[in-house]
Amino acid sequence: MNVLVGRKPREFDPPHSPRSVGWTRPLRVRLADESNPLPLDCGRFFAPVDVEYEVYGTLNEERDNAILILHALSGDAHVAGWDAAADEYGRPWRKTQPGWWDSMVGPGKAFDTRKYCVICSNVLGSCYGTTGPSSTDPATGRPYGLRFPVVTVHDWVRLQERLITHLGIERLLGVAGGSLGGQQALEWTLAHPGRVRCAIILASAARLSDQGLAFNAVARHAITTDPNFRGGDYYGGPTPDRGLAVARMLGHITYLSEESMRQKFGRRFRNGSGPGFQFGPEFEVEGYLEHQGNAFVQRFDANSYLYISRAMDYYDVSVWGDGDLDRACARAESRFLLISFSSDWLYPPRQMRELAMALCRNRKPVTYIELPSTYGHDAFLLEVDKLQELIPAFLEGSLGA
């Protein structure tokens, strides 16, 4: 079935390209039920939990070529290729763009699906197939809303570990992700040190800065003060799109760098001339942000934004060392590839260096590279050529480790 008939893919390899993974379909599995609920950091034992995930490439007989990719705030399990189930799942935007890391996952790409079995699952609390605040609470028959438990990165990894076990994988070749995905990869190496051979952590850090906390706080404030939010019980009625759009616009400012914005927009007026003396979007950068905000509310749930950004806030890997990062890193048994980007100010190089040094002081094998880039935080999605130079070699070097 070709759901894309009559539509033109906009970017990346088209579905028929030999370097695309082609058509993919999401998979679902129940990983926690009443008899085996998922213990959460908040103290609750939670069930049921269904997980949506995708698999690219083939698990070998030794079951030692699996790489778990972790997605960031607004991501999903659909990493690469074209979604054959976009209509079925009610996700029309997936018909016009491939998976979020399509440039990195596929035959001959950085995560080469001819060699490796790539897995990605949607996180708990999201709105893309894994149980989240928009799921139906079996106790009430209504969506959870804010009655959904507040989840953490550690909870996500605990659930991912159940998935890996379910798939019959004892030890992952690697875990990899950027931003909040990188924090999940890092958490894997400390929570399950014996189950992961290497970790590829991009544009991330041991914890979010206060400035990062501040951006998340304003984003959530915009959502929760939207009159349509109604304490999170907005399902079936008007949704808090105004607040969610503000949150997303704000997010996009932190994903770009000052320089990439200058290169991209250069204070240009949309009408090409000059001031229109009004408050609608006049500068190109204003139009860009409004577009991003409006597109996002079509595809994301405001409650999920609250839950996932809160997990991002709480994450601090040093809890494994009772607040001491060096002590925490002593637990690791993986090889590490840490990559930061010079113009990333959401997870600045300084923070990645801190992590690299803590691992180094613990005699852990760590490669830390600060890549020059003007793309800001988004560089982990865009600096494909540079990542292609580093990641395949690192993965091969980890095969025998």
Q: Tell me whether strands 82-83 and 23-24 are parallel, antiparallel or unpaired.
A: parallel
Q: Is 210 in the site for its own copies (CB under 8 A)?
A: yes
Among 100, 116, 188, 345, binds its own copies (CB under 8 A): 345
**Annotated catalytic residue 179:** yes
- Cβ contacts of 101 within 8 Å, gap of 6 or more: 69, 79, 80, 111, 381
Among 17, 114, 171, 218, binds its own copies (CB under 8 A): 218
DSSP 151-191: --HHHHHHHHHHHHHHTT-SSEEEEEEETHHHHHHHHHHHH
**Annotated catalytic residue 377:** yes
Strand, coil or helix: 83:
strand
Q: Is 296 in the site for its own copies (CB under 8 A)?
A: no
Among 246, 312, 359, 391, binds its own copies (CB under 8 A): 246
Peptide bond into 48 cis (omega under 30): yes
- Greatest Cα pair distance, the chain, in angstroms, is 67
Catalytic residue (one of 13, 83, 241, 344): 344
Q: Is 370 in the site for its own copies (CB under 8 A)?
A: no
Among 50, 64, 137, 286, binds its own copies (CB under 8 A): 286
Catalytic residue (one of 179, 260, 334, 340): 179
**Annotated catalytic residue 291:** no
- Cβ contacts of 363 within 8 Å, gap of 6 or more: none
Tokens of 112: 């080469």
Q: Of the candidates 302, 149, 336, 121, which has an alpha carbon nearest to the alpha carbon of residue 226?
A: 302
Strand, coil or helix: 283:
strand
Catalytic residue (one of 71, 192, 252, 377): 377
Sites for its own copies among residues 4-63 (CB under 8 A): 41-42
Sites for its own copies among residues 304-343 (CB under 8 A): 306, 310, 313-314, 316
| Side chain identity, residue 266 | G
- Residue 299: phi and psi, rounded to 5, are -130, 0
Sites for its own copies among residues 156-185 (CB under 8 A): none
- Residues recognised as catalytic: 179, 344, 377
Which residues would be at the binding site for its own copies (CB under 8 A)? 41-42, 146, 149-150, 152, 207-211, 213-215, 217-218, 220-222, 224-227, 242, 245-246, 249-250, 252-253, 256, 258, 261-262, 264-267, 275, 277-279, 281-283, 285-286, 289-290, 293, 306, 310, 313-314, 316, 345, 348
